[in-house]
Structure formats: structure tokens, C-alpha cells
Amino acid sequence: MLATRVIQGQGVHVEGINFFTGFCVEGHTHAIRRQDQKKQKRNNALWVAEQLGIKLHIVDVIEEYKDVVINPKHGYGSNLNPCLDCKGFMVKKAHEWAMEHDFDFIITGEVIGQRPMSQRRDTMPVIARESGAHDRLVRPLSAKLLPQTLPEREGWIDRDALFDFNGRGRRPQIALAKQFELHDYAQPAGGCCFLTDAQYSAKLADLWQARGNREYEFDDIMLLKVGRHLRPSEGYKVIIAREEGENRFLEGYRKQFTHLFATSHAGPLALIDGVTGLEDLRVAARLVARFGKGRDAESVAVEIHAPSAEPKTLEVCPLSDADIPQDWYI
């Protein structure tokens, strides 16, 4: 928002570009979980564009982004977040888009030293170079600490009216926001990408290990955001809804997965991802019984539906917490 306002203030026409990778946290996840219902279900990119009065282009990069997540040449951050490759990829896409649509340069809100991986003095030039944007990439908030860019040299923008923000502190940004009368903005350092989340990354790593390769489909990464994931054996895992909103979300996957739910007691819907024999189904049914209202009952009836097979019902004794090894929880 600040970078846009600074550049708009120099009389430049600015439009926004937002990439949808599939790992975005906001909107979607808040809409699924009941406990998150009080959180605002806005798409922040759209909201920001509205505040700034600019056009926003939302670009789906789910397929192309896979290579960034699977093979990051600069490696991962503290979890499976490939921030440096990700920034390079997004700036590259933005640059291509800008050139195709007759724009002259790109701006980002990056600040030197603000992030440990992608916003260091030594990595910011890497993004400019590897993205192919080179000196058409302007970081208005730290521009005075970086080499001159093409728009500055050409006089399209005035370098003297740009900034020299540096470091993790955000006081100057907050002061500038006040000056621009921007009072509502995303929380500093608020996670907006699931790849920075340790639990989510553990689930993604488990998925790759179980499949024996590092591929994923869009549905895979969506399902990693939802439910309890337990892996009783290498060949399958059970995804159990934690509440009503997740139950409804998992219902959308009933045709693709073997799914099960208790019929004698109220309880969650669960999906099985992987290949199971009868004994595995029994374990899965006992797990489902454990997380439902029949957890203390002697016997719970669990109905199992496999794609293209007749449903069957198992009468099972719910697993107790002591029966569930901790390493089943992913």
C-alpha cells in the first residue's frame, strides 16, 4: 500500500497484481472453519486495491508455482517456504505481465532487512537479476539504499522522493501510513502463506514421503489445510474433520475418497487417502469413533463408503487416547 501511494504521488498510474499459489491462508481457510467465522473473510489483495483505488489483476499460478515449491534452487526457509525463489518467480511473472500490457516498470513494497531470506541487501539484487526484471524493478521504500533503477535514471520517478527504510522495525512504515491516512492494513508479519507454517509443512513433507515423490495436486494442498491428519501406516492416512465447517468441506470430496462416519452416534466425517485393507479400515473406523460422541461407548457403528463399492458398516470399539501413538499425528 505504501509503495503504491509513494509512486502514485509522483503522478504514475499503478495497477496491482496478485498471484494465487494455492498456499494462501486468508479468505478460504477462514471461510471453512467455524471458529474462524468472526474473522473477516475478505480477500486482502482485493480490499487493498479498493482502498488504493487501483485495478487489481489476480493471476492463477498454481501449476507453474509447483516447480518453485518442489525444486527451490535457493532452498527453503525455516519450513517449506521457498521465499527467495518465490519472490523471483513472482517478480518474473509480474515483469512478463507488465511488458505484455505496456507498463514500464514494477514496484514492490520490499524493505531491506525486513525478512531473513528474501529481503536482505544481498538477496534483493538476486531477485532483480533472476526475475529478468533487472533495473525495471523499483522498491520505493528502500530505493535510496539500492542502485539507481531505469525509471529513476529516465526521470519517470524522482529518486529524492523515495525512501531509505531498512531493517525489521516498522516504525517509519507506520508513520508513513499515518501520513497517507491509511489506518487499516494487514498486520505486520502476519502469516499469509501456509508454507511458512510448521504444521502445514510437516503435512506436506509427509504427503511427499508417503507418495515417494514430491508432486502434489491442488486438492492435496487444500486438504492439508483442513482436519486432523493421522497416519496409522505408511500406506494411508485418515483426515478427520474437527468441526462442522470442516465436515462440510470434506463432504465435497466424498466421491474421490473412501469416506467414513459413525451412524450410531454423532461424529465427524473422515476421508482415507491411500490404499487400505480390511484391518486398516477397522483402525480408521476406530479412530473416527474416537473423535465422535460415541468415544466412551463400547461399540460404535461406522459406515464406510469406498468409491464404486457398496457401503459397509463396521461395529468397532473406539480407540482410547492411550491407544493412539503420538507419531500417528502428522
Name the residues that contact ligand SF4, by CB under 6 A: 81-83, 86-87, 118, 193, 195-196
The CB-of-11 to ligand SF4 minimum distance in angstroms stands at: 30
Q: Give the whole-angstrom CA distance, residue 93 versus residue 263.
A: 50
The C-alpha cell at 40 is 473477516
The CB-of-61 to ligand SF4 minimum distance in angstroms stands at: 11
The CB-of-26 to ligand SF4 minimum distance in angstroms stands at: 12
Residue 110 or 246 with smaller CB distance to ligand SF4: 110
Residue 66 or 259 with smaller CB distance to ligand SF4: 66
Residue 98 or 195 with smaller CB distance to ligand SF4: 195
Nearest to 262 by CA among 298, 315, 192: 315
Three-state DSSP class for residue 134: helix
Nearest to 259 by CA among 187, 189, 307: 307
β pairing state of 56-60 and 16-20:
parallel
Residue 114 or 118 with smaller CB distance to ligand SF4: 118
Which residues are within 8 A (CB) of 216 and not within 5 positions of it... i.e. 6 or more apart?
66, 69, 204, 207, 208
The CB-of-84 to ligand SF4 minimum distance in angstroms stands at: 8
Residue 16 or 274 with smaller CB distance to ligand SF4: 16
Residue 137 or 240 with smaller CB distance to ligand SF4: 137
The C-alpha cell at 157 is 520517478
The CB-of-280 to ligand SF4 minimum distance in angstroms stands at: 35
CA distance to 261, 264, 265, 290, 320, per residue, from 298 (Å) = 17, 12, 12, 11, 11
The CB-of-65 to ligand SF4 minimum distance in angstroms stands at: 9
